[in-house]
Amino acid sequence: MSPLSGKNILLGVTGGIAAYKSAEVVRLLSAANASVRVVMTRSAKSFVGPLTFQALTGYPVYSDLLDVDEEAAMGHIQLARWADCLAVAPATADFIAKMRAGLADDLLSTLCLAAEVPILIAPAMNRAMWSNPATLENIRVLAERGIHQLGPATGLQACGENGYGRMIEADAIYQAIQSLLSRKGSLQGLSVLVSAGPTREPIDPVRYISNRSSGKMGYELARAASEAGARVSLVSGPVSLPKPNLDAIVEVQTAAEMYSAVMERARTSDIYIGAAAVADYAPIDADIQKIKKNDPSLMLSLERTPDILASVAAMNPGPFTVGFAAETESLENNAKKKLESKNLDMIVANQVGGREGGFESDQNALTVLWKDGQVRFELAPKKQLAHKLVELIAERLQYSRNPRNE
């Protein structure tokens, strides 16, 4: 049986050239036995006729918020409650801006506000419209709110230009909906917060103190947790990695920003995985102007940054807290000390500075410790380790909630 069988999917179609591709999305979903209802914006109807969608779904297309007949057939709140997920494909620049602003002046935007189910958007527009700071800012805010973003893809566009902005293919949209609605695994129903990457502590407007963390391990952990069925939020320092498809991604720069973003979300999370390499110290006062090289030496005064891991672990009630210890020596001893002093549920220790993986590498070897046990994961790709670690976290969490099960 298809995982989409019996699922209710609301497909929003907005006014872009790619609207014709949405017919194929409907066809794929219907073939997988999902029940699909289509909502079109007024502009979308200039690109594809509603009859196409009506024929493919077997139901009339919804469009008008204030139409008495439509509202009587299935009102907007009813439609929002009916859906297991809402996908907007294509999502125009205009519609994305509306969503970010929280407008509700037509049926589809009203549904986006009323729906309490996962929302996916597949942006599609000219490459200049996509790279406009207004659009990118809107997208960033939507990602922080947990809107799933699919694409866009790069390539030749209908306007003859080449670049990012094409809607991703119908099959990829179908796959994303399927994977979102068929989440099951060891973390099903749980919410996981992951922090990843380095932080940057400004010295002056052009310089900063940072470290060599690439964010790869944290990103793989966020992906693995999502694949294990969890709702995942990622708080990420500056990295150059592709964005995974998660429930929310919050981008930060400094340790102080990471602290606020994590603390805001930790209380409502079941698990916190602190995989970020947060700077321990930051310049007390970053210079407003670029520091000139007039003096033969330069003193920087640094102060401790907030201890995110310890602050989350001290929450009561708080999430199951997993820390990372990147050590250059006495790996196990230092990790054990950190586990105890910060009152963590689990710590993942890895050797850095040597030849065995660690920062920037795609591989790693890990020693995982908890109060009365430990396990060693030998050198392996970070993706593989992430899945093993997620399974171990699920097991330890279950034990901590119900100790007699072991």
Ligand X SMILES: Cc1cc2nc3c(=O)[nH]c(=O)nc-3n(C[C@H](O)[C@H](O)[C@H](O)COP(=O)(O)O)c2cc1C
Which stretch, 89-97, 200-208, 243-251, 351-359, contacts ligand X (CB under 6 A)? 89-97
Q: What tokens were used for 209? A: 């103190």
The gap from C-alpha 289 to its chain's centroid, in whole angstroms, comes to 35
Return the number of the residue (15 or 274) whose C-beta is nearest ligand X: 15
Task: Out of 32, 70, 88, 95, name the contact with ligand X by CB under 6 A.
Answer: 95
Whether residue 135 contacts residue 96, with contact meaning beta carbons closer than 8 Å, is answered with: yes
Which stretch, 28-36, 86-94, 236-244, 368-376, contacts ligand X (CB under 6 A)? 86-94
Task: Out of 15, 197, 198, 218, name the contact with ligand X by CB under 6 A.
Answer: 15
Q: Which of 158, 159, 300, 375 is catalytic?
A: 159
Return the number of the residue (45 or 387) whose C-beta is nearest ligand X: 45
Which stretch, 16-24, 67-75, 309-317, 361-369, contacts ligand X (CB under 6 A)? 16-24
Task: Out of 44, 48, 255, 277, name the contact with ligand X by CB under 6 A.
Answer: 44
How far apart, in whole angstroms, are the C-alpha atoms of residue 246 and residue 136? 18
Stated as kind and residue range, the H or E segment containing 67 is: none
The yes or no reply on residue 92 touching ligand X (CB under 6 A) is yes
The yes or no reply on residue 16 touching ligand X (CB under 6 A) is yes
Which stretches of 208-254 are DSSP H helices? 216-227
Q: What is the per-residue DSSP string for 116-137?
A: -S-EEEEE---HHHHHSHHHHH
Which stretch, 59-67, 91-99, 206-214, 337-345, contacts ligand X (CB under 6 A)? 91-99
How far apart, in whole angstroms, are the C-alpha atoms of residue 166 and residue 156? 8
Can 159 be counted among the known catalytic residues?
A: yes
Provide the 10 A C-beta neighbour count for residue 277. 24
Task: Out of 24, 27, 43, 387, name the contact with ligand X by CB under 6 A.
Answer: 43
Helices (H) and strands (E) in the chain, counts: 14, 19
The CB-of-216 to ligand X minimum distance in angstroms stands at 33
How far apart, in whole angstroms, are the C-alpha atoms of residue 64 and residue 58? 19
How far apart, in whole angstroms, are the C-alpha atoms of residue 21 and residue 158? 13
Q: List active site positions.
A: 159
Tell me which residues touch ligand X (CB under 6 A).
14-18, 41, 43-44, 92-95, 124-125, 129
